[in-house]
Amino acid sequence: MGLDPDLPKEFFPRFTTLSFLSALGSRSRQPAALAMSSTTNPDVLVVGGGIVGLAVARAARLRWPDASVVLLEKEPEVGLHGSGRNSGVLHAGFYYTADSLKARFSRDGTKQWTELCLERGLAINRCGKLVVAKGPEELDGLEELKRRGHRNGVQLQEVSQEEAREIDPAAKTFQKALFSPTTASVDPAQVTRALAADALEAGVELVFNVRALGRKGAALSTTAGDLTPGYLINGAGLYADKLAQAYGFGEEFAILPFKGIYLYGDPQKRRPRVHIYPVPKLTRPWLGVHFTIGVEGQVKIGPTAIPAFWRENYRGLENLDLKEAISILGIEAGLFLRNDFEFREIAIEELKKYRRRVLVEQGALLVDGTPMETFRTWGKPGIRAQLFHKKERTMLMDFVLEGDDRSLHILNAVSPAFTCALPFAEHVLDEMEARTR
């Protein structure tokens, strides 16, 4: 079973016509009813064609080869949202506490993705990562990261200032740094498309251009008719809370969207050759402005974590959902006024990053000799789906699943979900099995 990294985008939409009979009524403006029994009554139905949904669907088919597995995606192809807009960094797993799912799945996921990319010929840059300290006040943070890495079984080296410069002459740090040799980067769109091809080869049926609308008794209502699966797995990303609530789960949660944008540098002689990250604020679910190295050596700084006003708030008023925007703005206004989990500071800090100069200045704190004036091209925005507990007024920092013997809902596929996708998919299926015994 092989991943084909070079499949054209056109390969995927045509499977829509194989998955249901809408092609027969293509002249009609109304969607045709889902007619194939394997589509309308699958054993397992996965909602969401991002990297997590694809990994779960593929793993389900491999675990239960006699089961029919259908994946539903509202877009015409995979990876048009979070997965395709991901940074592509494979995180080694030393940021997270040892009792977290993220720690285990990022460590194992980095290993599995690296092996898979090398085996299948997918692009990967095994450059490693330096975490640098900007001053003496960040040395304790470095020590905490080193402790977490040790507890999580992650390969991590403490290096001196001189050793850090040997690893990357562009790195600037105070006294010492941490080096993660297993951190790597992939092309997220390529990997997502390849995983979709692998899911198809495993026997998963991919259905595109069909949106889940909500529950109708035992059925899932969609824009192309009703489906009655044996079991539903909700991997709808930015909309996972809405679908979960239709099934009676996740009532105390809401997903808040945060917009991430990178700034790309022009080709230059002296630039970082490994990922260079600051010591993060561990109370926040993101890692601060850093340098990311792409699969072909391209360098970008970022990302931002700007509060977005609706779930697909990529550019201007594109994809505006007024009702959704009013709801999210109401939550964000309350958080700003009360300053829950430092939201006011976060919002002010992040909104400033819409200015190129601010990102460049923050990036310059991590490097020496890199011509920062060459960072002038904004990349494609992405939206992080961050789960918020409405009663406790906190952001959830780990994966959250809720469900019963009929459905399971991935409410918080939190970063680094891309890195974690392969081992996390097995965990999701274990949880499904536990609920259906």
Kindly state the helix (H) or strand (E) to which residue 47 belongs, with its residue range. strand 44-47
- CB-based contacts of 366-369 (< 8 A; 24+ apart in sequence): 366/132, 366/134, 366/171, 366/172, 366/276, 366/277, 366/278, 366/290, 366/291, 367/170, 367/171, 367/172, 367/272, 367/276, 367/291, 368/169, 368/170, 368/171, 368/172, 369/169, 369/170, 369/270
pLDDT tens, position by position, 306-342? 999 999 999 999 899 999 999 999 999 999 999 998 9
State the pLDDT at residue 308. 95
Beta bridge partners of 178: 131, 158
Kindly state the helix (H) or strand (E) to which residue 72 belongs, with its residue range. strand 69-72
List, for the chain, all residue ranges whose pLDDT scores fall below the cut of 70.
Answer: 1-38
Query: In which residue ranges of the chain is CATH 3.30.9.10 found?
Result: 126-184+262-304+353-380
Beta bridge partners of 377: 264
Question: What are the tokens at 315?
Answer: 């550019």
Beta bridge partners of 69: 44
- Assign domain 9-82+188-251+398-436 to its CATH architecture: 3-Layer(bba) Sandwich (3.50)
Start-to-end C-alpha separation, the chain: 30
Query: In which residue ranges of the chain is CATH 3.50.50.60 found?
Result: 9-82+188-251+398-436
State the pLDDT at residue 38. 60
Question: What are the tokens at 327?
Answer: 């709801």
pLDDT tens, position by position, 15-69? 333 333 232 222 222 333 344 446 789 999 999 999 999 999 999 999 999 999 9
Question: What are the tokens at 16?
Answer: 């829509």
Please, what CATH class does the domain formed by 126-184+262-304+353-380 belong to? alpha beta
In order of 346, 378, 388, the CA distances from 334 in angstroms are 14, 31, 13
CB 42 within 8 A of CB 227: yes
Q: How many CA atoms lie within 13 A of 87 on its CB side?
A: 31
